[in-house]
Amino acid sequence: MTFFVPSHSGPRRSVTTTVIAMSTSASPTGFPAEPTGGITAGDTVTDRLVEANKRYASDFTDPGMDARPVLGVAVVSCMDARIDLHAALGLELGDCHTIRNAGGVVTDDVMRSLTISQRALGTRSVVLIHHTSCGLESLTEEFRHELELEVGQRPAWAVESFRDVDQDVRQSMERVRTSPFLLHTDDVRGFVFDVTTGLLREIDPA
């Protein structure tokens, strides 16, 4: 579908949301195989991130945006490292709010972020994205019990594991649509991202 939205400068631009393929890095860490830019082999991953930021900041120009997303949409997705969310959805800097957690499930904290996104920052649409081969499909709530045995305290949070990814997307859509805190629940859509093809498959809420 196509949105006509104001650009960050100049006349409005059209943005077409399409289902596209995405590639993943050949490197297990997502970083180049050899250190670059003065990063030594003994540095930690965080050190490499900090050095990369210095290179990024050296050419950085303030885009002059505010915090309100141009497309008025919030995207809730899994934190899985295989999903390059902006590339997969054709999004640019400033287009959307992105909220990510394990599984992309709608937890209390996700509802907190969505509520702030809508009420304080003007978003109206919500896109929910789960994916194939999710790690939560191999976990159970027993995970919390195992943690309790290990550290002597049971986590207050639920694992939110699932066996049927389609049904879990439907549950997430229902949680958003029935929330009393959100101003806009008429445009809530759910999808499953295929990590092998890069394609989105829309889930019927019924």
pLDDT (tens digit, 9 = 90+) per residue, 116-175? 999 999 999 999 999 999 999 999 989 999 999 999 999 999 999 999 999 999 999 999
Which pLDDT score is estimated for 40? Answer: 60
How far apart are the C-alpha atoms of 165 and 170, rounded to whole Å?
A: 9
Which pLDDT score is estimated for 150? Answer: 96
pLDDT (tens digit, 9 = 90+) per residue, 81-128? 999 999 999 999 999 999 999 999 999 999 999 999 999 999 999 999
Among the listed ranges 32-36, 144-148, 176-180, which one has the minimum average pLDDT value? 32-36
Query: What's the CA angle centered on 188, arms 80 and 105, to 5 degrees?
Result: 30
Q: Which residues pair with 4 in a beta bridge?
A: 14
Q: Which residues pair with 5 in a beta bridge?
A: 13
